[in-house]
Amino acid sequence: MSSTATEPIGDDLNEDPEATGFEAEAPAVATPEPPPKPERLVSIDALRGFDMFWIIGGDALARALCKWWDTPQAATIGEQFEHVEWEGFRFYDLIFPLFLFVVGTVVPFSLKKYQTGDSPRGHALWRTLRRTALMLVIAFIYNGALKWDWANLRYVGVLQRIAVCYCVASLLYLFTSVRTQAITAVAILLGYWALLALVPAPETHMRGDYSKATNLVGWVDRHVLPGRIMPSYYGTGDNEGLLSTIPAVATALLGVLAGEWLLSARKPGMKALGLLGAGVLCVAAGYGWGHVFPVIKNLWTSSFVLVAGGFSLVLLGLFYLVIDVWKLRGWSFFFVVIGMNAITIYVVQSIVKFPDIRTYFLGGTMALMSAPVAAIVGAIGVLVLKWLFLYHLYRTKTFLRV
């Protein structure tokens, strides 16, 4: 952690120009001014915070409210805050791909000056590789590497996938054109479909097997992935396993393309409409493709990439329209505080026992309440504690830099 303003991975919009405190004397010969830095988009910070809100306790609050409401309609809404067991799509299945999408969206804002040649690409390459390595170190520590139990270590996970997707998306952005990036994303989705449709798992010899127990992705995880496959991660494979990380790169690339669209010279209203329109088309295409290549988050199928990416585009379009076009920003501050330290709270909440702190202050009060109301108050208490922690970091300009 640093006490100065730094930028977390997927949030390179925090860099400020250096302030020397002196005005240089005008040179005798005019020199070209450096290109202006991309305008900071509050909507991206807010969208990242909105996404993390559900991870740090918003989901528990929503489920508690639905249980307290206790109607068939509430039960239906409550299901949206649970992952689909296998095939299908719910709101909660959007949370991780939305974060990967936002990681990709920020890449053009962070690396534009390197892509255009205004700054040496070698520096950007080193920075990208350094960040990836540091993120992987954090990821393995988060998974328990310091226990030194390599046989039972989970070698993959959320943070590992973020690191890999960030690295690949950044390198493609630095060294290829928009057209190549789009073609790469399409090629990944089609290639992954072809792989799972045409290559059977050696144990079954059945092509196009997308079942939970015998799919090719799970077979590769079981036979190639070192360490332990946790029973809680669908058992026969890992949610963030080896093969399924390939299409996850396409999720980040959709974000990169969205970021390049936002940096274009088009009018703000047109940018918002473009994001919304592209999102609707992706969702429709994903559900259509799902008839032959099912929408399955655990396998990160190509149809899932399009459905999740489409909803991510729609959310980005709405946040951008309301916050950065219409300038209605007051409501977004709550989410911005979370979004500025998203990785920090993801890691810290596994170390700091916020529920225990909540119980210390509210345990007696909650004991006087009915179980449904106590669950709501308890969920709010944890959220408040986490937000106040993040607000302190925000006020002191302390961000996790990787």
Each residue's pLDDT tens digit, 260-271: 999 999 999 999
Backbone torsions φ then ψ of 336, nearest 5 degrees? -60, -40
Of these ranges, 111-125, 334-348, 388-402, the one predicted with the greatest mean pLDDT is: 334-348
So what's the pLDDT on residue 38?
Answer: 62
Which one, of 234, 222, 232, 228, lies nearest residue 149 by Cα?
228
Percent of the chain with pLDDT over 90: 82
**What are the pLDDT digits (tens) for 314-336?**
999 999 999 999 999 999 999 99
So what's the pLDDT on residue 235?
Answer: 83
pLDDT at residue 401 is higher than 60: yes
pTM: 0.90
Query: What angle is formed at CA 102 by the lines to CA 96 and CA 107, rounded to 5 degrees?
Result: 135
pLDDT at residue 399 is higher than 90: no
**What are the pLDDT digits (tens) for 138-190?**
999 999 999 999 988 999 999 999 999 999 999 999 999 999 999 999 999 99
Cα separations in angstroms, 23 against 33, 34, 161, 381: 15, 16, 45, 49
pLDDT at residue 11 is higher than 60: no
**What are the pLDDT digits (tens) for 83-133?**
999 999 999 999 999 999 999 999 999 998 887 777 788 889 999 999 999
Residue 357 has a CB neighbour count (10 Å cut-off) of 15
Number of Cα atoms under 13 Å in the Cβ half of residue 194: 6
Instruction: Find the radius of gyration of the CA atoms of the chain.
Output: 22
pLDDT at residue 292 is higher than 80: yes
Residue 132 has a CB neighbour count (10 Å cut-off) of 21
So what's the pLDDT on residue 309?
Answer: 98
Cα separations in angstroms, 352 against 334, 385, 386, 389, 402: 21, 11, 10, 11, 21
Across the range 230-252, mean pLDDT stands at 92
**42 falls in which pLDDT band (50, 70, 90)?**
very high
Look at 26-30, 32-36, 297-301 and tell me which has the smallest mean pLDDT. Answer: 26-30
pLDDT at residue 8 is higher than 80: no
pLDDT at residue 32 is higher than 80: no
Tokens found for residue 341: 């330290």
Q: Report domain extents, the chain.
A: 41-395
Q: Give the max Cα distance, the chain.
A: 77
So what's the pLDDT on residue 205?
Answer: 83
Across the range 364-372, mean pLDDT stands at 95
Residue type at 184 in one-letter notation: T
So what's the pLDDT on residue 230?
Answer: 80
So what's the pLDDT on residue 10?
Answer: 47
For residues 397 and 5, the answer to whether their CB atoms sit within 8 Å is: yes
So what's the pLDDT on residue 40?
Answer: 74
For residues 125 and 170, the answer to whether their CB atoms sit within 8 Å is: no
Tokens 């997308």 appear where? 210
Rounded Cα–Cα distance for residues 63 and 76 (Å): 11
**16 falls in which pLDDT band (50, 70, 90)?**
very low
pLDDT at residue 53 is higher than 70: yes
Rounded Cα–Cα distance for residues 48 and 32 (Å): 36
- What is the chain's mean pLDDT, rounded? 90
SS3 87: strand
Look at 37-46, 130-139, 192-201, 388-397 and tell me which has the smallest mean pLDDT. Answer: 37-46
Look at 11-20, 43-52, 279-288 and tell me which has the smallest mean pLDDT. Answer: 11-20
Tokens found for residue 357: 């702190």
pLDDT at residue 312 is higher than 90: yes
